[in-house]
Amino acid sequence: MTFSIKKLTMAIAAAGILGVAGLTTNNNNDNGTVQAATAGDVATVSWSGDAIQVFSDASSSASVVNYLPTASSWKVMETKTDANGTAWYKVANNQWVMASLMADGYSVSQATSNTSDAQKVIDLAKEQLGKPYVWGAKGPSSFDCSGLMYYLFQNALGRNIGGWTVPQESAGTQISVNDAQPGDLLFWGGRGATYHVALYIGNGQYIHAPKPGDVVRTATLSGYFYPSFAVRAI
């Protein structure tokens, strides 16, 4: 389940969009025409590489704050055109991507008519990107790692999986990290003594609340900080 991030040869600006990953945009508008995404629509990463950069502002000179994997789909929060005439989509708080790297948009109702329980949790997780880490916080404006997982399952599915990592270990069936699927929980540390938890979203990536001073963000599985085990809770 390896996933390599390739540096793009062009800078892209951060577009604030809420995620609806795993969807496809196949241009099935009622009138058969292609249209650019507007706020509230869903757009899909169409870049031919592994991922695109996400920037802190709608400018190619802004700092890179995240990556979006190819073929993942996101709800556009806002659109903007910079002084050079380049269009940008906003993916989350202070996160922008270049519109030219996204497939054209569709309404959320078209894109999510058959949304699975796992996708509901993932979609809600993407809405939290950019919110600050606060120890013990369970949302909606800030989170710690286990508080984020509690919030996602409680609000997306109406399920109480426990408020910290150890009870969350028992939210489902333990599996190998190599067998993880989107919507599974990832844990760091031995069972009964875990110290971190995240939500696997596919393509070797997960969403988590990392540490004090940081924000809810996506990260890529790596040997440097690799989960100990996973739990299938859905």
| Residue 96, CA distances (Å) to 4, 53, 67, 149, 232 in order | 21, 9, 10, 25, 31
231: alpha, beta or left, given left = phi > 0 and alpha = psi -120 to 50? beta
| Residue 47, CA distances (Å) to 10, 197, 203 in order | 11, 30, 15
Beta bridge partners of 188: 196
Place of tokens 């997982």: 149
Q: Whole-angstrom Cα distance, residue 153 to residue 139?
A: 12
Catalytic (active-site) positions: 145, 196, 208
For residue 92, which of 109, 68, 62 has the smallest C-alpha distance? 68
